[in-house]
Structure 1
Amino acid sequence: MPVITESDVRAALARVNDPEIRKPITELGMIKSVRVGDDASVDVEVYLTTAACPMRTEITDRVSKAVADVPGAGQVRVELDVMNDEQRTELRKSLRGDSAEPVIPFAQPGSLTRVYAVASGKGGVGKSSVTVNLAAAMAARGLSVGLLDADIYGHSIPRMLGTDARPTQVERMIMPPVAHNVKMISIAQFTKGNTPVVWRGPMLHRALQQFLADVFWGDLDVLLLDLPPGTGDIAISIAQLIPNAEILVVTTPQQAAAEVAERAGAIALQTRQRIVGVVENMSWMDLPDGTRMDVFGSGGGAAVAERLSRAVGADVPLLGQIPLEQAVREGGDDGMPIVLSAPESPAAKALQAISEKLAVRQRGLAGMSLSIDTTRHG
């Protein structure tokens, strides 16, 4: 039998990521001690960020499994402790730097995160369902995805992602819960039950600012913002806080809905944001006999894309048409997006195709210091 050492155990722990921060627990200063007994038993003490850490069971399980898989390991015991204030401060500094005021990382010139603000002219067109499924589809492809529920009054993202988890707070830094590999934040996580949010514009702006700056999103490929319907305070605040956010317009084929959706997209003329495209939802219903029923008419998505192209003087494509399926609604109620529960369904395939058209910024070595000494020796 191989003899297990403390270095073997620490090497295994370096492959254990914190479920919320998504970084190795060894890098985060979460390992308090490691002891290997004469009988090859292993005792590991782990620091939690807070006493009420909702991930304590998952962290314990991950540590236990990683150590148990080390050749020669005997019984594994994991004990939990809690970081003190000084340790939490060091953790926050290691993740966010030492700036007095948090900044919005997505608004910085060097940000590689693609930000999509999903907008609609009116409610009931399935904007949140589209947003959730696009996020889940991107995450399933291996992208690092965040989803901000910016619909403060009509928040629905936690239910649609099937989670009632609350964020963890480390000093002024908020750790967003993760559902279906999507990091997510919503005002619903800070209210009791189904309590309505009754705020005026300045409070909405401040809440968005906190969600963008105080939440530790990590290194995201894509951040999706589920905007409220219309062209009110939230849309204006997003344009101010993240000027580089691109607008994705959701409509139905119905002409009345399309006209209103056009207004939501045309706000880009005033905010000088780019419109990435139009998504037509509930485009048709496939009937058992193989025919299609245009429940909400036809042509609305194409009309919006055409009119917005003319208005902004640039091509605004119709990115896709999503058929009307009962399973989409059921997935929203059950917290299981259709792109995950029924990936071969027509609606799921349409959503996956749209997600693949939403580009991410390339991450390469260009402009990065490689710490290579180019001095000629000899």
Structure 2
Amino acid sequence: MSIEPPRAAIVGIGATDFSARSGRSELELACQAILAALDDAGIDPGEVDGLVRFGASQRRASEGAVAHALGLGGLSYWSEVDLGGGASAALVGHAAMAVGTGAARCVVGYRALNGRSGARPGTSQTSAALEDIDPHYRDFLVPHGLTSPVQMYALIARRYLHHYALPGNALGGVARSFRRHADRNPNAQLYGRPLGPEEYDESEVISSPLRKLDCCLQTDGAAAFVVVPADRAGDLAQPPAYVRGSVQASMANQPGFLYSFVGAGDVLRTPAEEAAGRLYARAGLTAGDVDVAQLYDCFSITAVLAAEAYGFCAPGEGAQRAAAGMFDLGGGIPANTAGGSFGEGYIHGVNHVLEGVRQIRGRSTSQVPGAATCLVTGGMPVPTSAVLLTKDAA
């Protein structure tokens, strides 16, 4: 099978500071990140003719509101990708398809979140909204007291530990690695707060077996990136990160929105398995070609299952390999090198896209030497997405 060259590239990235209390609206945060991304690329806002946004709980930073606030010209393309954390890498895919097909010439993808001081995921406010849009959540989970994401992922983590006969603290290696990366990143929310040797084991249990340090941060902030056709990418201010391949995937019999494990025969199987096979085939690459990964990490179990699904270790090995340093610099697959959602900030994984671009540029605070291919994955077990970024267009 012949592999076509990339049609699109990310040429600009931008983010706000990541904090617990920004004092800014979603719209203001989004505009700041977008302007930073355009400045990074050396592109005037008037050139933007496409916007792609993360839909979930981002109602105050719509495409129309952003276009008006920034004085953009008329848009020829816009889209909204939903499905919780599964949408993060899909934003890149939508933008790449738009410029690759000629629907637009310059597309900005963005995510803004008042995840700490505003509408916090998993609270009664956001849970009430879910009851309106997801009957499976309302009918099968709420009556049993399962109302927040951590409870769902705790069930998956419990099954993983039981199935592979692992101790209750087996997932601690994920937090230790990601926090080490965050401590080298001055822009990380937890920069300067290294994880003590016993801190994970002493952290409180939130929903057994998941501890506080198995959970992502709650963050105010925004992240944005600029995508243009590949044939223009080399003429701009920054080295491009080419979109080598992108994919979205769901499983059969996967109802619901966030709580899409309802009815699953095996909660350890996720759409990432389908995504991985198709992504590598489209890109003409294998897991062995990937130098660094940015794995969606709302909870530690998610990063472990992603590492297994995308071929970096065998099923059941992820937690033990993470504890042995698989995600560290020099490990089997360095991952979440800016600190991820555990240390840098929780921007629903869109900040992972930015870190993927930094790795390709050679400018990460935890740089993998010679990194030429970076995998960025979306969340799961919801319908998921992934993208491969490369240094070279060939």
TM superposition score normalised by structure 1: 0.26
TM superposition score normalised by structure 2: 0.26
Higher CA-based Rg: 1
